[in-house]
Amino acid sequence: MSEWKGKNALVTGASYGIGEAFARRLASDGANLILTARSLDRLDALANDLSARYSVNINVIESDLALPTSPDEIFRETEARGIDVDLLINNAGFGAVGDFVDLPLVRQLEMIQVNVNALVALSHLYLQPMIERRAGAIIQVASTASFQGVPYMTVYAATKAFVLCFSEGLWIECKEYGVRVLALCPGPTATQFQAVAGTSRRRNPQKMQRPEEVVEVGLKALTEERGVVISGFSNRAMVTAERFIPRSMVTQIAAKVFRPFSTGADA
Ligand SMILES: NC(=O)c1ccc[n+]([C@@H]2O[C@H](COP(=O)([O-])OP(=O)(O)OC[C@H]3O[C@@H](n4cnc5c(N)ncnc54)[C@H](OP(=O)(O)O)[C@@H]3O)[C@@H](O)[C@H]2O)c1
């Protein structure tokens, strides 16, 4: 039986991709859910589908995490509905592909707000009651981009490096209170992510991980009380190999992989 049966799990970015896969998996495990994202229609459809299939309670909170007030509003909403969050999954996030100087600054600052600031704020808000209860867990969705600079996804990789480092620190700090914190690092995964990021490189979805596989890896690593897990054998191999190569070389290889086809540099 899943440890989350009858517990309350809050998933950010539950409307698509990895977040939706977390919601589906946790509902099938018997967890009650709090689903948040901007796409209310998709959250409502998901909630209706899951409530029809499983005997779980599902709450939907429409929220734009690019707004600095949103984490506090989500927290106050769960308090008002009398929900103790046992598992927080900080999954919402997005990337943008292109030269840093060409990408709109406002979009990149929004990325920092969603990928970093909202994640820190939600962690701070929900950790306090978890620590009081001496129970609970947080999964922070980081990335294989956390492990090196990634030219042409420069701000995105920096946000994910933050998430990794932040989560590793919290993992140790929270251990003594019986609260688990895990950085889950997926590599390329077949979701909306690539389209939202505006990549010009077409990846074969068959060669990417499925979001369900990422979720499986994350939930298993949580039971093992690990601080960091990389999803997928080839992603783990890549990150391991990087440790034996000079960092400057790793960054140059990443530049070759991520350079958009449309830049003058390709010509
Ligand atoms: N797919 C990959 O290749 C990959 C690899 C490594 C890491 N990741 C990470 O995995 C996480 C999930 O991404 P995904 O692959 O599932 O991508 P996705 O299919 O694009 O889903 C992203 C989710 O984040 C939500 N989101 C985006 N901006 C938001 C905002 N301003 N406020 C609230 N929610 C927002 C979206 O919901 P709404 O649009 O409805 O708001 C959506 O539910 C992200 O943190 C991403 O960085 C993905």
Is residue 105 included in any domain, yes or no? yes
Q: ∠ CA 233-190-211 to the nearest 5 degrees?
A: 65
The rounded Cα 204 to chain-centroid distance in angstroms is 22
pLDDT digits (tens), the chain, 267 positions: 899 999 999 999 999 999 999 999 999 999 999 999 999 999 999 999 999 999 999 999 999 999 999 999 999 999 999 999 999 999 999 999 999 999 999 999 999 999 999 999 999 999 999 999 999 999 999 999 999 999 999 999 999 999 999 999 999 999 999 999 999 999 999 999 999 999 877 778 888 999 999 999 999 999 999 999 999 999 999 999 999 999 999 999 999 999 987 644 432
Q: What confidence score (pLDDT) does residue 254 get? A: 94
Given this model, what pLDDT does residue 267 score?
A: 29
Q: Ligand 1: distance of its center to the CA of 6 in Å?
A: 26
Q: Which atom of ligand 1 is nearest to the CA of 144?
A: 6
In this structure, is residue 206 part of a structural domain? yes
**Closest to 43 (Cα-Cα) out of 25, 71, 30, 24:** 24
Active site residue 156: yes
Task: Determine, yes or no, domain membership for 197.
Answer: yes
pLDDT score at 263: 47
The distance from CA 176 to its chain's CA centroid, rounded to whole angstroms, is 24
Going by C-beta distance under 8 Å and a sequence separation of 6 or more, which residues neighbour residue 245? 253
Beta bridge partners of 59: 34
Which residue out of 16, 126, 152, 156 is catalytically annotated?
Answer: 156
Range of the domain at 43: 8-266
pLDDT at 262: 61
Domain assignment present for 25: yes
- Note whether residue 234 is domain-resident: yes
* Burial per residue of 54-68, b for 16 or more beta-carbon CB atoms within 10 angstroms, e otherwise: bebebbbbbbbbbee
CATH number of the domain encompassing residue 238: 3.40.50.720
Q: What is the largest CA-CA distance in the chain?
A: 59
CA of 96 to the centre of ligand 1 (A): 12
Q: Structurally, how many domains does the chain consist of?
A: 1
Cα-to-centroid distance, 211 and ligand 1 (Å):
11
Question: Would you say 139 and 222 are in contact if contact means Cβ atoms under 8 Å apart?
Answer: yes
In a domain, 3, yes or no: no
Q: pTM value?
A: 0.96
